[in-house]
Structure 1
Amino acid sequence: MSKYIDDNQVKDYLVQLKCHFTWELAIEEAEIPDLESRVLEEIEFLDTKYSVGIHNLLAYVEHLKGQNDKALQSLKDAESLIQREHTDQSDMRSLVTWGNYAWVYYHVGRLADAKMYLDKVQKVCKKFSSPFYYRMECPELDCEEGWALLKCGRKNYERAQACFQNALEMEPENPEFNTGYAITTYRLDYFNTVYKNGEAPSLDSLKKAVRLNPEDTYIKVLLALKLQDMGQQTEGEKYVEEALSHKSSQTYIFRYAAIFYRKASCVDKALELLQEALQAIPDSAFLNHQVGLCYRAKVMQIKKATNMQPRGQDREDMDEYIRLAIFYLKFALKQKPVFDIALLHLALMYIEAGKYREAEDTFQKLLSMTPHEKSILQRGHFSYGKFHEYQRRSDTDAIRHYLKATQIGELSFITDKSINSLEKLALRKLQRNAFDTEGLSLLEYVHKLKGKRNEALEYSEEALSLAPHSEEAGGSDP
C-alpha cells in the first residue's frame, strides 16, 4: 500500500517539473523516426554551443521508442556538456536534464532514483528562492523549451517563438536566446508570403543573431536565404560564401547553401553540395528531397529554354532529369512517409513523366492527409485542379479543386492563381453557352473574391434570372 502511495506522490511532483515530459510536445507516432534522424544529424554534424537541449530531446525520443537505457545515456551526455559548457550556471542548466532523469526513472519503476533527481531540482529551486518546490521561472528554461518545440515541427513554432520571446524579455542581448528566436521567426516567415511594409519579420532578428554569434555558420546561411527572398541576393551570397569557408558544420550547412544556389539558378553548384552531404547522411529525407528539387529545376530550365518543346538531346536530358527527380523524391518519402510537400513535388514530376495514374494516386494520398501547413493543402488542391484541367480534360473536377484552393488559409499567390483559373474556366463555359448558370455563378464568386461587388451583383442577378432554365442550360451553383 505504501508503495502505491509513494508512486502517486512521485507522480504529483513530476508533473510540476519543467522538462520534455511536461511541455506537451506535439509529436505524432509516425513522426518519431524522422525526428530521431534529424536530432542525430544535428548532434553529429552541427557544431554549436547550444547542444545540451538536443541531447535532452534525444533522450525523450528514445523514451518514446521504449529505449529507456539509451535515454539515460543521452541524459548523461547532456550532463557532461553542461559541466563542460556551463560551469558557471550548471545548477540552473541542469534542471531540465534532472527533470527528464526523474521521469525516465519513474517510468522504469526506479522510484528511489526518481526521488533523488526530484530532490536535486528542489534544492536548486530553494537556492534561487523559487516560490515552487519543483519548478522555476527563468529565461534558461524558457529557452530550452523553445529549442525542443522548434525541433518538433511546424505545429509547435508559435509556442517556440513565445518561449524565446519570454527569455529575451529578461536578457535581450543573450546570444543563444536571439539565435533561437531568429531561427523560429525565420521558419514562421516561410509560411507567410505577405510581409508588412515589404519587410520579413525575421530579417532584423537574423541580423542581430549573426552579430551576436559571428562564428555560427548556420544562422549566417539562414540570413543569406532571407536576404535572397527579399531580393538582396548579392548580399546574401556573401554570407553563404562566408559560411562555406568555415570547416565546422559543413555537412549540415551544405543543405541550406544548396537551397540558396538552386534558387539562384546555380543548380549544378547546389547538386554538388547536396551530393557531398549525402555521402555523410545518405538516408536524409531532407537532402534527398532537395536533390529531387534540383533535378526538377533542371527540367524546368530545359522547358523554358526550348519554349516548352524539347527535342533530341534536350528531350533525352529532360527525361533523365525527370527520372532522377522521381527517384530521389520517392526515396525521401520512404524515409519520411508524412513528408507532405515531397508528396506534392512527386505528383508534379509524375505529371511531367506522363505517369498520370501514379500522379492521381499521389495527389489522393496528399489530400487524404492533414498537412501541418494549410498552404501545402492549398497548393495540393490547386495543382490537382490543373491536373484535371490539362491532363484529365475535366473542367468539372478542375473547378471543384480550384474552389477548394480559394477556401483554404489566408490570401496568397496560390489563391490568386486559383481565382484566375476559375475565371478562365467560367468564361470558357459561357463562350460555349451564354446561359450557363454555373459559369455566371463562378464569375459572381470570382468578382466577390476580387472585391468587385458591382460586377459580382450583375452576374448574380443574371444567374438568378436564368434559374428557371438552369436544367436546359446545364449549369449549377459552384
Structure 2
Amino acid sequence: MKVHNRAEHQGGILRSPVLVKVQRISVTSTATMGENAGADQVKENLLQLSCHFTWSLLFEDADIPDLEMRISEQVEFLDIKGPVGMHNLLAYVRHLKGQHEEALQSLREAEALIQEEPLGKRSVVTWGNCAWVHYHMGSLAEAQSYLDKVENTCKDFASPFCYRMECAEMDCEEGWALLKCGGRNYSRAMACFAKALEAEPENPEYNTGYAIAAYRQDFDDNNISLGPLRKAVMLNPADPYIKVYLALKLQDIGEREEAERHIEEALSSTSCQTYVFRYAAKYYRREGCIDKALQLLHKALQTSPNSGYLHFQIGLCYREQMFQMKTPRNTPSRRQGSTQEMAQRAICEFQKTVELRPTFDVAYVCMAEVHAEIHQYEEAEANFQMVLNMQNLTGHRKQDIHLRYGRYQQFHQKSEDKAITHYLKGLKIEETSYAWRKLLIALEKVADKRIKKEVRLVESVSLLGLVHKLKGNMQESLMYYEQALRLTGEMNPEF
C-alpha cells in the first residue's frame, strides 16, 4: 500500500504523463530548452505553496474510496461548517485517483464559494491546489495564472513570502485537512490548531478544531480533551456536532447527568443530524440502551448507506446483544440460538465495515473476537493476523491489538505462553496509554496465576519483577528479581 505525503510531490512526485513527456523531449532546440526551464520554474514555485499538495497528508491507497465518501458526506451533511476546505481536499483525493477534470470541478465549487463569501487569506489554498492540478494536466500557463493569484494575495496581506502565508487561517485549514485524513495525522492536526490559537485564543472555529483533535488523541485517560471541548461548546453554543463530542468525553469520566443534557440538546437540533445520530448512538450503546442506539444508527444509515463507521457501530451493538444473550437469565437453548444469530449479524456488519474501510484495524479485531465467542477459531485467527501484519499503525493501536490477541490466546486458545509473548510485545512499544496499562495488569495476573500453580517459576517470578519495574516500583522489582536468582541457584546475567 502506498502512503501519500509531501515526498511524492518533491523530487520524484511529478510522475504524471506530462512530466514524462517533458523529460523525453529533445533539448537540442532553444524553444524546447525554454519550455523545460519554464516547467522547472513553475515546479519550483509550486513547491513553495501551502496547500493540500504540500501538507504531507498521510493515508494509504486503500483508504481513498472511504476518504472520498467521508469528505462528500461532510460537504453535504455538516452544515455548520463552511465546505470550501472539504471541496479542496476532495479535489486533491480525486487528483490522486487520476480524475483531474473531477478535481477541477471540485475546485470550481470552492472558487464559487470564495466569490460568494471572500475568505481572504484562505483563498490561496484553493488557488494553490488549482495551480497544482493544472500543472499535472500539462497546462503550465493556467498553473502560472493561479500562482500569480496566490502571489498577488500574498502581497495584499504583506506576506514576506511570494507563494505562501504563515498565519492562523493557514494553520486552521491545514489542521482540518489533517484531521479528516485519519489517525496518523491527528497529532499534527492538534499542533496546527494549537498554533492558530496562539494568534486568536477565543476563535470559535480554531477552538472546535483543537478540541476535536484533542478528543481523537485522548487515548491515555488523561482527559486532555475535556477542557478544550468545554471551551469549544461555550464558544459555539448552537453547534450540536461539538456537543456530542463533549457528551462522550463526560460519559468517559462518569459525568452522566451533564452528558445526557448535551446529547438531548444535540438531538433536538436540526443541524448536522447525520453526524449527531452516529455519535449519540455511540453514547447510548455505551449506556446499555442498544435498541435506541440501533434506531439512531439506522436513521443515519438512510443518508449514508456506505459509511464504514456506521456499519462498525451497528456491529458493536449486535456484539453487545450477543453478550447479553449469554447471561444466565436465558435458558441454554435460547442462549445458544440467540448468541449465534447476534454473532452472525455482528460479523456481517464488521465485514461490511472492512470492505468499505480496508485498513480499519479495530473492525478486524472486533470481528475476530466475535468469531472466537462462537468457536470459529480459524476465522478469528485470520482476522487477528490481518491486523498484526498491518503497517503504519500508531503505538497505542498496536498495544491494543497485542492486548486483545493475547487475551484471545489466553482464554480461547488456552495458551498462556503466546499470551505472555504478546503482552510483552505490547509493553515494548514505548507509548503510555490505557492499553499499555491494561497490558501490565494482564501480564501481572497471568504471572501470579503461574506462580500459584508453580509453572515455570523462574520465568514467572522474573515477569513480576518486570511488571514492578515498569510500574516504577524499584524495590519490589529488585525483590522479585532476587527471588528469581535464588530459584535459579546461579547468577544468571539476564536478571
TM-score by length of 1: 0.91
Q: Deviations over 1:297-338 (max 9, x none)?
A: 2223334x427x862323322221111111101110111111
Cα distance in 2 between the residues matched to 1:393 and 1:477: 28
In the alignment, structure 2 segments of 5+ residues that lack a partner are 1-32
Q: Is the 8 A contact 1:68 1:104 kept in 2?
A: yes
1:224 and 2:247 aligned: yes
Which secondary structure state, in structure 1, belongs to the residue aligned with residue 166 of structure 2? coil
Which secondary structure state, in structure 1, belongs to the residue aligned with residue 109 of structure 2? helix
1:330 and 2:351 aligned: yes
Q: 1:397–1:113: structure 2 CA closer, same or farther, 3 Å change rule?
A: same
Q: Is the 8 A contact 2:410 2:419 kept in 1?
A: yes
Cα distance in 2 between the residues matched to 1:417 and 1:119: 56
1:258 and 2:286 aligned: no
Q: 1:178–1:395: structure 2 CA closer, same or farther, 3 Å change rule?
A: closer
1:361 and 2:382 aligned: yes
Partner of 1:242: 265
Map 1:137-152; keep pairs closer than 5 Å.
137-152=166-181
Q: Is the 8 A contact 2:226 2:249 kept in 1?
A: yes
Cα distance in 2 between the residues matched to 1:224 and 1:326: 28
- Residue 206 of structure 1 aligns with an amino acid whose one-letter code is L
Cα distance in 2 between the residues matched to 1:92 and 1:439: 62
1:39, distance to aligned residue in structure 2 (A): 0.6
1:187 and 2:219 aligned: no
Q: 1:133–1:346: structure 2 CA closer, same or farther, 3 Å change rule?
A: same
Partner of 2:439: 418
Partner of 1:55: 87
Cα distance in 2 between the residues matched to 1:427 and 1:236: 39
- Residue 239 of structure 1 aligns with an amino acid whose one-letter code is H
Partner of 1:126: 155
Q: Is the 8 A contact 1:437 1:477 kept in 2?
A: no
Q: Is the 8 A contact 2:80 2:271 kept in 1?
A: no
With 459-468 and 46-55 compared, the bigger mean Cα shift is at 459-468
Which secondary structure state, in structure 1, belongs to the residue aligned with residue 53 of structure 2? coil
1:222, distance to aligned residue in structure 2 (A): 1.1
Partner of 1:382: 403
Q: 1:105–1:371: structure 2 CA closer, same or farther, 3 Å change rule?
A: closer
1:281, distance to aligned residue in structure 2 (A): 1.5
With 457-466 and 284-293 compared, the bigger mean Cα shift is at 457-466
Map 1:386-465; keep pairs closer than 5 Å.
386-433=407-454, 436-465=457-486
Partner of 2:46: 14
1:174, distance to aligned residue in structure 2 (A): 2.0
Q: Deviations over 1:105-140 (max 9, x none)?
A: 011000110111111111111122222211122221
Cα distance in 2 between the residues matched to 1:25 and 1:435: 48
Partner of 1:99: 128
Q: How many residues align?
A: 463
Q: Is the 8 A contact 1:402 1:422 kept in 2?
A: yes
Cα distance in 1 between the residues matched to 2:442 and 2:208: 42
Q: 1:419–1:292: structure 2 CA closer, same or farther, 3 Å change rule?
A: same
Q: 1:58–1:310: structure 2 CA closer, same or farther, 3 Å change rule?
A: farther
Cα distance in 2 between the residues matched to 1:175 and 1:426: 51
Which secondary structure state, in structure 1, belongs to the residue aligned with residue 58 of structure 2? coil
1:371, distance to aligned residue in structure 2 (A): 5.4
Partner of 2:315: 292
In the alignment, structure 1 segments of 5+ residues that lack a partner are none
1:359, distance to aligned residue in structure 2 (A): 0.8
Cα distance in 1 between the residues matched to 2:155 and 2:303: 46
Partner of 1:306: 328
1:469, distance to aligned residue in structure 2 (A): 8.6
1:467, distance to aligned residue in structure 2 (A): 3.3
- Residue 368 of structure 2 aligns with an amino acid whose one-letter code is A
1:376, distance to aligned residue in structure 2 (A): 2.2
Partner of 1:39: 71
Q: 1:433–1:263: structure 2 CA closer, same or farther, 3 Å change rule?
A: closer
Cα distance in 1 between the residues matched to 2:299 and 2:455: 60
Cα distance in 1 between the residues matched to 2:201 and 2:80: 20
Partner of 2:12: none
Which secondary structure state, in structure 1, belongs to the residue aligned with residue 51 of structure 2? coil
1:424, distance to aligned residue in structure 2 (A): 3.7
Cα distance in 2 between the residues matched to 1:18 and 1:424: 52
Cα distance in 1 between the residues matched to 2:121 and 2:187: 25
Which of the residues 187, 190, 196 maps onto 1:158? 187
Q: Is the 8 A contact 1:437 1:476 kept in 2?
A: no
Cα distance in 2 between the residues matched to 1:448 and 1:332: 40
1:82, distance to aligned residue in structure 2 (A): 1.9
Cα distance in 2 between the residues matched to 1:39 and 1:414: 30
Cα distance in 2 between the residues matched to 1:256 and 1:10: 45
Q: Is the 8 A contact 1:435 1:466 kept in 2?
A: no
Q: Is the 8 A contact 2:190 2:210 kept in 1?
A: yes
1:476, distance to aligned residue in structure 2 (A): 13
Partner of 2:24: none
Q: Deviations over 1:181-220 (max 9, x none)?
A: 221112112x222x2xxxx232232222223223222111
Q: Deviations over 1:19-43 (max 9, x none)?
A: 1111111122222122111111111
- Residue 184 of structure 1 aligns with an amino acid whose one-letter code is A
Percent identity over the alignment? 51
Q: 1:459–1:202: structure 2 CA closer, same or farther, 3 Å change rule?
A: closer
Partner of 2:8: none
TM-score by length of 2: 0.88
Q: Is the 8 A contact 1:95 1:121 kept in 2?
A: yes
Which secondary structure state, in structure 2, belongs to the residue aligned with residue 21 of structure 1? helix
Which secondary structure state, in structure 2, belongs to the residue aligned with residue 223 of structure 1? helix
Root-mean-square deviation (CA, aligned residues, Å) is 2.3
Q: Is the 8 A contact 2:220 2:432 kept in 1?
A: no
- Residue 444 of structure 1 aligns with an amino acid whose one-letter code is G
Q: 1:302–1:120: structure 2 CA closer, same or farther, 3 Å change rule?
A: same
Partner of 2:107: 75
Cα distance in 2 between the residues matched to 1:81 and 1:252: 23
